[in-house]
Amino acid sequence: MKLLLVIFVVHAIFIPCFSFDVPGKDLPLTLDYYKSTCPTVFDVIKKEMECIVKEDPRNAAIVIRLHFHDCFVQGCDASVLLDETETLQGEKKASPNINSLKGYEIVDRIKNIIESECPGVVSCADLLTISARDATILVGGPYWDVPVGRKDSKTASYELAATNLPTPEEGLVSIISKFYYQGLSVEDMVALVGAHTIGKAQCRNFRSRIYGDFGVTSALNPVSETYLASLRELCPEISGEGDSNVTAMDNVTPNLFDNSIYHTLLKGEGLLNSDQEMYTSMFGIQTRRIVSKYAEDPVAFFEQFSKSMVKMGNILNSKSLVDGEVRKNCRFVNT
């Protein structure tokens, strides 16, 4: 695979731009899919995402996470966006999504603008995939080309949402298996988890970690002790108290897409058990090496993150490719 590396300057931030040969020549996705039917789609999404992230930098992480949760269930087909109806059980109430997955209104907002310019042309699945790329760039992350041409599913899977998505308490071996199931490697997994550098987590998802082995992995140096004390103040030990309180997973540069999250793991201060496992698990010989590499080399992290996001975005729903649609409203199947 040939790699072209160019450096752009955007708002005084150096943004690596990676261009790759798209794996899988038989994929029905192309870079110019909307060239004649909606040539402004990339510009429209970019412009709106600039406003959305300016309003709240956390929106970048929200959109990236929404894309991830979509692709791990039935492929990248916008099934995660479907609301429940009398005839369809959606994915929004599945345990990994309920009370935590957000960003649906962001998609609605962009979709309304695109529908006014190119009605019935751009799928919600493509919209979300492009938005995730732009969200990454807007907080300092890398650029990559986004192949498009996905169709929106007419179905959703509550069951797959409950089983396919990794959870914060999960062990390393189980998480690796879930990535392998999607055709993603260990290298992809460690790189994609790097998006947590701009993410936040709810108390309910890190309580067991901060009242568990946090002190062991961080060796409780004075700085770690202070950090742990602040986390425990935010998140009481008793289940049900402060469950929805949130804090950044990267407590150094929480609004900047960089490799800081890997330095956090090296110090043993990963907020989520699933993240810290990549460095401290007895099964993490390979992941430990990759974490260390990305901590040392931010360009290597950006390069692999770009590749892995393209690879994840290419997980397709074969059924939707045959009988899928372009939804007019991303929350509902067309009638």
Place of tokens 């460690």: 190
Q: What is the pLDDT of residue 221?
A: 83
Domain shared by 278 and 241, yes or no:
yes
Is the pLDDT at 1 greater than 70? The verdict is: no
Give CA–CA dist 29/127, Å, rounded. 14
Q: What is the pLDDT of residue 14?
A: 42
**Has residue 35 been placed in a domain?**
no
Q: Does the annotation count 11 as an active-site position?
A: no
How far CA 230 is from CA of 205, 224, 236, 273, in Å, comes to 16, 10, 11, 18
Label the pairing between strands 13-19 and 143-144: parallel
Domain shared by 65 and 121, yes or no:
yes
**Is 263 marked as binding a ligand?**
no
Q: What is the pLDDT of residue 318?
A: 87
Calculate the average pLDDT of the chain. 92
Instruction: Determine the average pLDDT of the residues in 206-219.
Output: 95
In percent, how much of the chain has pLDDT > 90? 87
Tally of structural domains, the chain:
2
Label the pairing between strands 4-10 and 13-19: antiparallel
Domain shared by 159 and 185, yes or no:
no
Does pTM top 0.85 for this prediction? yes
Q: What is the pLDDT of residue 26?
A: 54
Domain shared by 251 and 206, yes or no:
yes
Give strand ranges (E) for the chain. Answer: 4-10, 13-19, 143-144, 200-202, 246-248
Domain shared by 148 and 77, yes or no:
yes
What letter would DSSP give residue 252?
A: S
Domain shared by 160 and 222, yes or no:
no
**Has residue 298 been placed in a domain?**
yes
pLDDT tens by residue, 248-265: 999 999 999 999 999 999
In the listed set 113, 142, 165, which residue is the last one of a domain according to the structure?
165
CATH number of the structural domain spanning residue 66:
1.10.520.10
Instruction: Determine the average pLDDT of the residues in 200-229.
Output: 93
Q: What is the DSSP string of 106-129?
A: HHHHHHHHHHHHSTTTS-HHHHHH
Place of tokens 């992290």: 301
Q: What is the pLDDT of residue 321?
A: 83
Is the pLDDT at 37 greater than 50? The verdict is: yes
In the listed set 142, 165, 188, which residue is the last one of a domain according to the structure?
165
**Is 73 marked as binding a ligand?**
yes
**Is 197 marked as binding a ligand?**
yes
Of the residues 11, 67, 69, 263, only one is catalytic, namely 69
**Is 77 marked as binding a ligand?**
yes
Q: What is the pLDDT of residue 17?
A: 58
Q: What is the pLDDT of residue 105?
A: 98
pLDDT tens by residue, 156-191: 999 999 999 999 999 999 999 999 999 999 999 999
**Has residue 109 been placed in a domain?**
yes
Q: What is the pLDDT of residue 237?
A: 96
Beta bridge partner(s), residue 17: 6, 143
Residues 6+ apart with CB under 8 A from 315: 71, 72, 75, 76, 182, 183
**Has residue 333 been placed in a domain?**
no
**Has residue 257 been placed in a domain?**
yes
Domain shared by 52 and 154, yes or no:
yes
Domain shared by 204 and 120, yes or no:
no
pLDDT tens by residue, 215-252: 999 987 889 999 999 999 999 999 999 999 999 999 99
Domain shared by 301 and 186, yes or no:
yes
Instruction: Determine the average pLDDT of the residues in 102-126.
Output: 98
In the listed set 117, 141, 165, which residue is the last one of a domain according to the structure?
165
**Is 75 marked as binding a ligand?**
yes
Is the pLDDT at 49 greater than 50? The verdict is: yes
Is the pLDDT at 2 greater than 60? The verdict is: no
**Has residue 21 been placed in a domain?**
no
Q: What is the pLDDT of residue 28?
A: 85
Give CA–CA dist 198/284, Å, rounded. 24
**Is 6 marked as binding a ligand?**
no
Domain shared by 183 and 303, yes or no:
yes
Is the pLDDT at 275 greater than 60? The verdict is: yes
**Has residue 132 been placed in a domain?**
yes
Q: Give the confidence band of 27 by pLDDT, cuts at 50, 70, 90.
A: low
Domain shared by 235 and 265, yes or no:
yes
Q: What is the pLDDT of residue 21?
A: 44
Domain holding 92, by residue range, is: 40-165
Domain shared by 79 and 156, yes or no:
yes
pLDDT tens by residue, 130-150: 999 999 999 999 999 999 999
Say which range, 58-72, 140-154, 313-327, has the weakest mean pLDDT. 313-327
Give CA–CA dist 166/49, Å, rounded. 27
**Has residue 27 been placed in a domain?**
no
pLDDT tens by residue, 282-296: 999 999 999 999 999
Is the pLDDT at 13 greater than 60? The verdict is: no
CATH number of the structural domain spanning residue 196:
1.10.420.10
Greater confidence (193 vs 99) lies with 193
Q: What is the pLDDT of residue 18?
A: 54
- Could you tell me if 97 and 161 are in contact, meaning their C-beta atoms sit under 8 angstroms apart? yes
